[in-house]
Chains A and B, each alone.
Chain A
Amino acid sequence: MPRTQPNRVTLTIDGREIEADEGTMLVDAAREGDVEIPVFCYEPKLGEPVGACRMCLVEIEGIPKLQTSCSTPVRDGMVVHTRTDQVKEAQESVVEFLLVNHPLDCPVCDKGGECPLQDISMGWGPDRNRMVDQKRHFEKPVPLSPLVAIDRERCILCYRCVRFSQEVSEDEQLQLLERGDATFVGTFDDRPYIAPFQGNITELCPVGALTSYTYRFRARPWDIEQGGSVCTLCPSQCNVSFTVRDEEVARVLARDNPEVDDGWLCDKGRYAFQAMYADDRVLGPEVTSDGHSTPASWQEAEETAAEGLASAGSRTAILVGDASNEEGYLLQRILRQALGSGDIDSRRGPGVDGDAALKLADPAITAQTSDIDTADLVIVVGTDPIQSAPSFDLRVRKAVRRNGTALAVATDRPGALEGGATEVDRFHPGGAAAFLEELAGKVKRGRAKTGLAGLIADSEQTVIVWGERIVQGAGGRAAVEALVDLSEAAGLADQEGSGLIGIPETANGRGLREVGCLPDAGPGLSPTGPGRDAGAIREGLESGELEAVVLFGVDPIRDLPDPEGWRRALEAAGHVVAFSLARNESTEFADVLLPLESHAEKDGTVTHPDGRIQRVRPSARRPGEVRPVWQVLTELAAMLGSSTGITSTPEALEAVASAVPFYAGLTDSEIGGRGVRWQERPAASDLGSPSPDLTLYATAPGPFSPLGSGAAGSEADDLPGSFEGGGSGVDDAGVVPPEESTSSPPTPTNGQLLLGTYPNLWADQVVESSPALRFLVPAQRLEVSGPDATRLGLSTGDEVSVRSGEESVNARVAVRAAMPEGACFLIEGTPADNGNRVAGEDGGPTLVEIGPPEVRLELVTAGGGPEGDEAA
């Protein structure tokens, strides 16, 4: 379904000649022509109009009865009247009718002042209510869920919330119960409404019937200001608008951007703002001396940090987690230019490296998020969007429900999208490479009629949404190759609107690697001398080869594989500089602790998984001593002897834009409020040309070589040429497959299971620090298949221990259908019993033994040290 250009038609509304696309609803056409027609139930985001409230009645010449303009498409030559006596009477009656049962408690109602019902009553309603009887009464306010309160007296039964639950998030929990004037919105059996997108209904409700507990009575519309920004809590990077009262964020609203989020937010983005004001937030710099961490001045803290880094010199490494493009750029510049080291990583495991990233960045094989809407086929590979980038989940559901897009899901762990999928394929943890290789082969041979390969052959526009974790572990490199092969075989490059969208592990994963936070690639993905990746940094610190480490927005003891190894590594490190939003286990080891800004305070840019560069803009006050981080980094750079010359945020962006060839010339005003995809800018043709920054790093004091050495060097020389002219021809001839190109994961033997880990949306420190969301923090659970459960004598709810080598964690068993046999899954980054402890060291799959419950009890009592701590 390629996008088609609709015909234009001309119609007359209230005597004005208006031009509109064929098929638009009358009410939208009218708005374009500056005629306002009041609506309640119409909300295009919810899909087809339902015509439930009758507020939008208009007179159309030639049709005797009034028509609902929200569900009447425009036709050429239509003559419409919105202000005749007949229409006026209808509007007044509808408003009066709605107000029959609506309590007029506007002064205590949170919606007061921003309420469509108030506005429409003022604008189109009668000025008197003839109702003298009792209004209907309900118990109020009652919790609909732990996050949302419902006041059923105020509800006008537009059923927007019900439609959202049924047709957008498809959790199907909200219902209209009872009939007639006793109708109310509720859930089956009054169970709490638990779903990851429920906060959206508070924004949809046109009256004050649905309110968030976090914002109830916090402010009125005239007490607040709105500040637009981007949510950087996950890679979806939804556009948000912060409601700020007294310079603090009080609420988060969606800021519709059809190219990014379609106007929806997940509950993490909406409610985790509370973490900004939690007790664990780092509010000022701290310096540790004699084992005691004490608050310090910025000057002192920066000097201590710089001293430590300078003395470690090229034996310094940097780990980046959540950072803006500017911060990431400055960090790698400090490391490469001032310290002469190349040991920087922003990934969880050895995932997409510089070379692979360059191939995958090819604009011809990259899809844009809104391409999902129009695609014939969407393939979701190795990711469960609801856990790692929730707004993609809604996007895919929308395509399937409204546009009849075929959906294929190929994952190791059964995910949320499978219900609507045409085709579900399952591979073992770590088996993505083999699966993709086979698929690419089938597609290439072109004989397949059935299965996924058949679907690919049948569809023109194909979008592949893939999770970057499939490239972790031993078969990682092969998976990237297979993916590029597949996109070539499926002809994604030649088809408009087809392509890949990779969901990175961290919110700005794509931006960070494009600005140079990879061990083997500098800004603009220019190959540099190979540095250590995250795992090697851990080993280097532990063995003493590395002296100092900078942790930037990352808690390796929680977020990365092998937390115990990281604990040892940080203990062994001579100098740890931690930039962190909040206190965590890793910051305990910090010699210098520096605060980070939250996404409501930061000024910078981030890059969306589809290459859209967006602006994060400050709207709230930085609490405590928190300072702009780019400033701190430029000062650190200057102290380390490499002045950056950056004195403002626009200059920081300018530095990034001139270092990354395909971002060249980017400015704040070009990015604007909607962002801009770099693939659509002329500079995109510079993808693959070396960054001018490399000359800066050439003078670095340490052993780090900007142009790499050996194979990497020769590849670097080839690169500019091979990507010339827009880079449509991906050339993989020169790629040397890594040693373990065979991607078969270890085979489980008697009693063992192959463990895969997955990120859980709620297993995150910001969730724990947000009181409203705390009820969602997951306890560790072990997902196993039915046959395995029978074989091992497990049933749902059993407590077991999962052991891999020295490490073990406790979990409750959840037997799931559709699980691949022989595999099991744990959650990464849970507050207790972190799945990362037993995960493979490189983030890939590993073999585990499931201990029977009695063994577990013994373990809890006998297993001292960290095990005991966490169990307590």
Chain B
Amino acid sequence: MSVRPEEITVVPRGPEPGGKGGAYRAFGETLRGLRTTMSQMFTKPVTIQYPEEKTPVYPRFRGRHRLHRFEDTGLEKCVGCSLCAAACPAQCIRVVAAENDPENRVSAGERYAAVYEINLARCIFCGYCELACPFDAITMGHDYEMADYNRSDLIFTKEMLLAEPIERAPLRREGE
């Protein structure tokens, strides 16, 4: 079988050891590497002093969920419809609804969420719940620091999700 010229790949070989080539290999490449080191020594470091300093996140970053209230009435936006639970692929949302007492409303609709829990140990932060919610009651926040000592502490209740979160994750500024 004859070999066609375009099928031939030429493999260049390094210089033989010893001699000039050997010396270059011993020092030349090291110096080249050192040049990179030297040049970086005088630039600003990219490392962040976490946890004193935090990486800013993009506005649409999907962090820990938040439940919202109407600003004017203070009523919860969530009506306990469970659509978020239905949409959740990780099955980490549990909603138990109850009927509003007209004298003492919790939410604006007929029903409200008596129990609203998200198991953040299971959540995959896909944001489907946010998409499913017909009332924009649940959104994905910016908080990504959720480590804890205990798994059961990762089940966030309605009160925890409604509470104004301590804004720990800075938002990335325009053009940053």
Contact = CB atoms under 8 A, between A and B. Distances in A.
Interface of A: 105, 107-108, 112-113, 141, 216-220, 222-223
A197 to B, nearest CB: 25
User: What are the 5 tightest A-B residue pairs by CB atom distance, in nearest-first order?
Assistant: A107-B81, A217-B97, A220-B82, A108-B109, A217-B111
Given A112-B81, A220-B81, A220-B85, 19 more contacts: A105-B109, A105-B110, A107-B81, A107-B83, A107-B109, A107-B134, A108-B81, A108-B111, A113-B86, A216-B111, A217-B80, A217-B97, A217-B111, A219-B82, A220-B86, A222-B82, A222-B85, A223-B82, A223-B95
B110 A108 contact: yes
6 contacts: A108-B109, A217-B110, A220-B81, A220-B85, A220-B86, A222-B82
A346 to B, nearest CB: 41
A152 B85 CA distance: 29
Contacts of A219: 82
Contact of A223 (B85, B109, B134, B135): B85
A222 B91 CA distance: 11
A216 B109 CA distance: 14
A222 B80 contact: no
Contacts of A218: 96-97
A105 B108 CA distance: 12
Looking at A107, A113, A222, which has the most chain B CB atoms within 10 Å of its CB? Answer: A107
A107 B79 contact: yes
B34 interface: no
A44 B111 CA distance: 34
A416 to B, nearest CB: 34
A107 B97 CA distance: 11
B99 A216 contact: yes
Contacts of A107: 79, 81, 83, 109, 134-135
Contacts of A222: 82, 85-86
A216 B134 CA distance: 20
Nearest to B79: A108
A220 B97 CA distance: 9
B98 A217 contact: yes
Nearest to B97: A217
Contacts of A217: 80, 97-99, 110-111
A113 B99 CA distance: 18
A119 to B, nearest CB: 15
A497 B134 CA distance: 56
Contacts of A223: 82, 85, 95
Contacts of B81: 107-108, 112, 220
Interface in B87-129: 95-99, 109-111
A220 B109 CA distance: 16
B119 to A, nearest CB: 15
B158 to A, nearest CB: 15
Nearest to A107: B81
Contacts of A141: 110
Nearest to B132: A107
Contacts of B80: 217
A145 B95 CA distance: 28
Contacts of B83: 107
A804 B111 CA distance: 54
Contacts of A108: 79, 81, 109-111
A686 B134 CA distance: 64
Nearest to A246: B96
Nearest to B114: A217
Nearest to B135: A107
A105 B81 CA distance: 10
Looking at A108, A113, A218, A223, which has the most chain B CB atoms within 10 Å of its CB? Answer: A108
Nearest to A104: B134
Nearest to B109: A108
A127 to B, nearest CB: 17
A216 B80 CA distance: 12
A217 B134 CA distance: 17
Contacts of A220: 81-82, 85-86
Nearest to B80: A217
A328 to B, nearest CB: 39
A217 B109 CA distance: 12
A423 B35 CA distance: 114
